[in-house]
Amino acid sequence: MAASQGLGNGAGEERKLFGTDGVRGVANVHPITAEMALQLGRALAWKVRSGNHRHRIVIGKDTRLSGYMLETAIAAGICSMGVDVLLCGPLPTPGIAFITESMRADAGVVISASHNPYQDNGIKFFDRTGFKLPDEEELEIERLVLGNQATSPDFHGLRPTAELIGKAKRIDDAIGRYVVFLKSIFPKELTLDGMTIVVDCANGAAYHTAPAVFEELGARVIPLSVDPDGRNINDDCGALHPAHMAARVREV
């Protein structure tokens, strides 16, 4: 589960943390530790600190047990650099991208390992437009995190105090915002009335969002795997295990 190696900024620099889809691995084993998450949060906050406005970074996650640990650590790192945090809670990755862009935040963070088992987790960064950071910016974050006071004195020495420390708050209506957005891009002249749809949410980040969207568009929804407990994400369900969904489709 180590990060894949690849070329950075044209100079053939080896990638030590970031793979093709962020930083991934077994939760609480390097590099997916609380200590590394805190430093990654600090580095991302350092990168967005430009201009005199109050900076904000959105954080969202899936339903893995380790998400609490990583969310807290990343938020602490960001706040320690004088940048505010907006916490979305469990929300699909495209939803975090949407919230980041729609709330005009400076960056977004997704804590997820997609279809991997629950003991894995990952950290992925978005820019202010909701798109994944380019390779050269990920490499710059690596240099900051893996460097020291001598190599990056400004970054490692920045310690805001008093009212300059960042604050974190939860976006209570993040799911509602994303549901409204998804419904808005469905053709207004169409409806799902009369359709029965089986939705397998894999006990993951879409367990609230997906059934709500289809129901509000008029469908009769048969939800599967919508009871996450932190350990059952992708457990005999979801994209890698479609048999139960297929059987339910035939039943209903």
Residues 112 and 202 in one domain: no
Residues 90 and 198 in one domain: no
Query: Does 180 reside within a domain?
Result: no
Residue 69: pLDDT above 90?
Answer: yes
For 108, the enclosing helix (H) or strand (E) is strand 107-111
Residue 155: pLDDT above 50?
Answer: yes
CA angle, corner 112, sides to 109 and 118, nearest 5? 155
Query: Does 247 reside within a domain?
Result: yes
pLDDT band, residue 9 (cuts 50/70/90)? very low
pLDDT band, residue 34 (cuts 50/70/90)? very high
Q: Report pLDDT for 52.
A: 76
Q: Report pLDDT for 10.
A: 43
Q: Report pLDDT for 12.
A: 57
**What is the domain extent for residue 73?**
23-172
Tokens encoding 208: 């609230």
Q: Report pLDDT for 117.
A: 95
209-216: average pLDDT: 97
Residues 161 and 220 in one domain: no
Residues 48 and 141 in one domain: yes
Asked if 66 is an active-site residue, the reply is no
Residue 187: pLDDT above 60?
Answer: yes
Domain boundary among 172, 198, 214: 172
57-61: average pLDDT: 98
Residues 150 and 194 in one domain: no
Q: Give the chain's mean pLDDT.
A: 93
Tell me: the pLDDT tens digits for 165-176? Answer: 999 999 999 999
Query: Does 18 reside within a domain?
Result: no
**Local structure of 61: helix, strand or coil:** strand
Contact in structure between 205 and 92 (CB atoms under 8 Å): yes
Nearest to 60 by CA among 241, 237, 208: 208
- Identify the active-site residue in 50, 102, 112, 114: 114
Q: Give the percent of the chain with pLDDT over 90.
A: 87
Q: Report pLDDT for 2.
A: 40
Rounded Cα gap, residues 221 and 4, in angstroms:
39
Q: Choose the weakest-confidence range: 13-17, 35-39, 109-113, 225-229.
A: 13-17
182-197: average pLDDT: 96
Residues 152 and 35 in one domain: yes
13-40: average pLDDT: 94
Residues 145 and 55 in one domain: yes
Residue 11: pLDDT above 60?
Answer: no
Residue 147: pLDDT above 80?
Answer: yes
Contact in structure between 41 and 107 (CB atoms under 8 Å): no
CA angle, corner 200, sides to 197 and 205, nearest 5? 125
pLDDT band, residue 20 (cuts 50/70/90)? confident
Residues 124 and 203 in one domain: no
Q: What is the identity of the amino acid at 32?
A: I
Q: Report pLDDT for 14.
A: 79
Rounded Cα gap, residues 81 and 83, in angstroms:
6
- 158 contact partners, CB below 8 Å, separation of at least 6: 46, 81, 82
Residue 15: pLDDT above 60?
Answer: yes
